[in-house]
Structure 1
Amino acid sequence: MLKSFDIYSQNNILKIIVALNLLLVGTGSLLYTNRLINKLELREEQYIQLYAKSIAYLTDTTHSNSGDLNFVTSEILQANQTIPAIYVNPDGEISMPLNFTLSATMTDEEKQQYLREKRDEMRKNHMPVVVEIGNGVRGLVYYNNSGSLRQLNYFPYALLAILTSLGVLAYLAFSSSRRAEQNRVWVGLAKETAHQLGTPMSSLMAWVEYMRSDPEQFDGSITDEIEKDVQRLETITARFSSIGSVPTLKDEDLNDVVQQFTGYLARRISTKVKMSVASQLPAGQTVKMNKLLFEWVIENICKNAVDAMKGVGELRLNMIMLPHQEVAIDITDTGKGISKANMQKVFNPGYSTKKRGWGLGLTLAKRIVEEYHDGRLYVKSSDVGKGTTFRIVLNTD
């Protein structure tokens, strides 16, 4: 059984490492911030405890030197400029509210109602602090976190959002850089291949002309076949030269292009593969295309299909009209099929299920269709062990 490989699988490992590092930084920051918040909450609670004791001193008339105590406790009360607090005396009356903004237009009843609502809200967040006034009499101090501490509670989430954004940006930048590098490699490889083919083709053409000049010595039919092969090499060279350049698109009859090329291809694939072409397109339906490159797309998909069938099976091409002025070419084989996990990978550069092959055919086909012809190429359907259907969608505008 053939095993698939992906020459870019190591890049996925690098992405995982980057993601883990971001996760560790985010988790560490979250834990540290939570620890800091807990310390600040404890500090504010201790401050409220002190605040409660100062109220106890102010309301307890049994203490001596009340003047000095009044001065000290007043300083403590005035020092709290951030923590909202409400004192409820033993009779249940609200007094001494701190750090609340009460409108001057509010009536006393409205102020009391507002403070009662705040008291109920505070009760949900913190247990009230008991104020021991003396003789078993007790009051209660309700409080809430300061504005700074409440803002700090949101900091871990903001930090995680920032780290997530940085991670997404890093991923996009990495993917874009990788795609650009891949494109440069494939374009350079294609143009270098075309350049290297030029010299032997020129030599072959010269030999063909030489053989034609002496028909008695060289069989004309053999010369004709050699010339066809040379012309085929010229077509391949033209295709490779077009990679990386903006191709010229012309209106071509889609039925004719597909019929002619599949007729040529049928004579060069396994005789055990039954190849058929059907069309529901209107007669003379044209599409803007570069014929050489588009034939390359058909060839790559069909040859992959023949390989998937191991040279035995059925290969069907069906052309249909779609809504929105689009046409589709469905290429269906009866091969081994593609698993759901690999449906997207088949278009990745370097991905192949063959021992011999660089995994470039479908990658180049997808680029030709989508970047040069403004169309779409994708796996329409596939069943493991039954076969696969690739769909090419082109605009007729």
Structure 2
Amino acid sequence: MLKSFDIYNQNNVLKIIVALNLLLVGTASLLYTNRLINRLEEREERYVQLYAKAISYLVDPSHNNSGDITFVTNEILTVNHSVPAIYVDPEGNISIYRNFELPEGTPEQQQQFLRSKKAEMRESHVPIVVEVGGGRRGLVYFNNSTLLRQLRYFPYALLVILGVLGVLAYLAFSSSRRAEQNRVWVGLAKETAHQLGTPMSSLMAWVEYMRSDPQQYDESITDELEKDVRRLETITARFSSIGSIPTLKEENLSEVVFQFTDYLARRISTKVNMTVTSQLPAGQMVKINKLLFEWVIENICKNAVDAMGGVGALRINMLLLPHQEIGIDITDTGKGISKANLQKVFSPGYSTKKRGWGLGLTLAKRIVEEYHNGKLFVKHSEVGKGTTFRIVLKTEQTTKAVQPQLSTVEKT
């Protein structure tokens, strides 16, 4: 039964809380700013209506008697310094305008400019009627002030800013979390390597003791024990190298894979048919860290054996790819991976086993991509039929142009 073990649930909850808070802040800002915009728009319209009344007061003879209108012109008519407005008299002529910067040119060109502005304003706002007496009417066309237009776009700008801040916060949080995970992994790996040191020394001493009495202890058994002890030393060296920049050396890739899989074949289920083939040119060299790269092969192969339940076929094929790249395909006949879980197989904590931390494929991907500048991905998987993982390594140049040869190591 598929099992996904997530050891970072608390961090995911924290991310959701941060995202919800950002969403609430953005929504509240949008609603509040829209309210301000509506109120300002209403005020500006009332302001233009007052402006229209002032024009009516000046134009209508019934209003313009012997009284002093200086107060009206100074306090009402000329106070508009922000709202663009154009007054069109009953004959259709533009007689008064405010807050426009006329272009240089002839009076006719300036009138044409004002007429174009009037057409724009008619599309955005319903003009205000000015009663000038005798049943005659003028019209005041107006538009939003610069301040109002800026406020209209402000909430969207604010949302963009909040979105950028949210992304930056998420990246900072994720980076911090990954750094913390790395510190935990490095510390755990180095402590494991340290703890293995003492029992390995003791085991080596027992191997030497058994070699000293070949008549009592079978030499073949002693050889196998020594191989396993050496293997433990290799594992210790792997753990010790975690967190450090590994040294990459030119290695014959086919030889490395054949030698290691020969050792691995003896230590997996006898019901697994393991086949290793190479279509690489003879002597194909690649820069790798041998200890870490063998760890990648081991993790993928053991994961494949588990997926097959210890029964099936395991095929490893090395081949040349375009763009001076080398591919290693590892194919099993296991239960496969569903599409929903394809993105999870390399995630820390993901495991299909009842027992397991789900770190093998995660470490393998990190070793290939971060240390070897390569790629590790699921090339193909079909539920009930099996999975193919592909490792891609870059090579600066191809070895001497020889016909690729097929080499095979088979374990039955």
Aligned to 1:95: 95
Aligned to 1:38: 38
Question: Hey, which of these two has a bigger chunk of helix by percent?
Answer: 1
Kept in 2: contact 1:194–1:237 (CA 8 A): yes
Secondary structure in structure 2 of the residue aligned to 1:318? strand
Q: List runs of 5+ in structure 2 lacking aligned partners.
A: 397-412
Deviates more, 1:287-296 or 1:242-251: 242-251
For 1:262-285, what per-residue CA distance to the aligned partner results, in whole angstroms no more than 9, with x for missing partners? 121112111221111222211110
Instruction: Tell me, yes or no, if structure 1 residue 206 matches structure 2 residue 208.
Output: no
Kept in 1: contact 2:332–2:387 (CA 8 A): yes
TM-score for both structures, normalised by structure 2 = 0.93
Identical amino acids, percent of aligned pairs? 79
Aligned to 1:385: 384
Kept in 2: contact 1:382–1:389 (CA 8 A): yes
In the TM superposition, what is the alpha-carbon distance from 1:66 to its structure 2 partner?
A: 4.6
In the TM superposition, what is the alpha-carbon distance from 1:32 to its structure 2 partner?
A: 0.3
Aligned length in residues: 396
* Structure 1 residues 52 and 199, CA gap change in structure 2 (3 angstroms): same
How many Å separate the matches in 2 of 1:378 and 1:3? Answer: 20
Kept in 2: contact 1:5–1:353 (CA 8 A): no
For 1:307-352, what per-residue CA distance to the aligned partner results, in whole angstroms no more than 9, with x for missing partners? 1111112111111111221101011111111222322222122221
1:40-59 correspondence runs (5 A) = 40-59=40-59
In the TM superposition, what is the alpha-carbon distance from 1:75 to its structure 2 partner?
A: 3.0
How many Å separate the matches in 2 of 1:174 and 1:387? Answer: 37
How many Å separate the matches in 2 of 1:377 and 1:139? Answer: 76
* Structure 1 residues 66 and 34, CA gap change in structure 2 (3 angstroms): farther
How many Å separate the matches in 1 of 2:390 and 2:12? Answer: 28
1:100-249 correspondence runs (5 A) = 100-103=100-103, 105-249=104-248
Kept in 1: contact 2:128–2:141 (CA 8 A): yes
Aligned to 2:406: none
Give the aligned residue type for 1:129. Answer: I
How many Å separate the matches in 2 of 1:98 and 1:67? Answer: 25
How many Å separate the matches in 1 of 2:186 and 2:115? Answer: 74
Aligned to 1:369: 368
In the TM superposition, what is the alpha-carbon distance from 1:112 to its structure 2 partner?
A: 1.1
For 1:12-65, what per-residue CA distance to the aligned partner results, in whole angstroms no more than 9, with x for missing partners? 222222111111100100000000000000000000000000000000011254
In the TM superposition, what is the alpha-carbon distance from 1:199 to its structure 2 partner?
A: 0.3
Give the aligned residue type for 1:267. Answer: R
In the TM superposition, what is the alpha-carbon distance from 1:185 to its structure 2 partner?
A: 0.7
Instruction: Tell me, yes or no, if structure 1 residue 266 matches structure 2 residue 265.
Output: yes
Aligned to 1:310: 309
Kept in 2: contact 1:55–1:73 (CA 8 A): no
For 1:95-120, what per-residue CA distance to the aligned partner results, in whole angstroms no more than 9, with x for missing partners? 111000013x3211111111111011
In the TM superposition, what is the alpha-carbon distance from 1:67 to its structure 2 partner?
A: 4.1
Kept in 1: contact 2:271–2:310 (CA 8 A): yes
Aligned to 2:342: 343
TM-score for both structures, normalised by structure 1 = 0.97
How many Å separate the matches in 2 of 1:15 and 1:88? Answer: 59
How many Å separate the matches in 2 of 1:157 and 1:133? Answer: 43
